[in-house]
Amino acid sequence: MAKVKVEKFVDGKHETSFSVPTSVLRVANTLLPESALGSLAGIGLDVREILAATDKGMAYETSIDVREHGISKTVVVSLA
């Protein structure tokens, strides 16, 4: 079963990572309201796109850059 890997980098240095089964995203896709899925897609985390890539056996990776309290952070989401 495919997994979604989430990695967090702070000021360019790897801080933490974790993986969740894609089945968790399938449940989220069913339970979350359309507005929440749209908001996630708007910041670069498109749940439907991740699931479509999983179903097609394709690679998927996206990154989200944020600045929090003056610290640059990057979150990378990929299929593992």
Structure confidence by residue, pLDDT tens digits, 27-51: 999 999 999 999 999 999 999 999 9
Please state, rounded to an integer, the average pLDDT across all residues of the chain.
95
Predicted confidence band of residue 72 (pLDDT cuts 50, 70, 90): very high
User: What pLDDT, on the 0 to 100 scale, is given for residue 22?
Assistant: 96
Long-range CB contacts for residues 39-48, cutoff 8 Å, separation at least 24: 45/77
Q: What angle do CA 2, 10, 18 make, to 5 degrees?
A: 20
Alpha-carbon gap, residue 51 to 4, rounded angstroms: 10
Residue 30, SS3 per DSSP = helix
* Domain boundaries along the sequence of the chain: 3-79
Q: If you average pLDDT over residues 43-71, what whole number do you get?
A: 94
Q: If you average pLDDT over residues 62-70, what whole number do you get?
A: 93
User: What pLDDT, on the 0 to 100 scale, is given for residue 80?
Assistant: 84
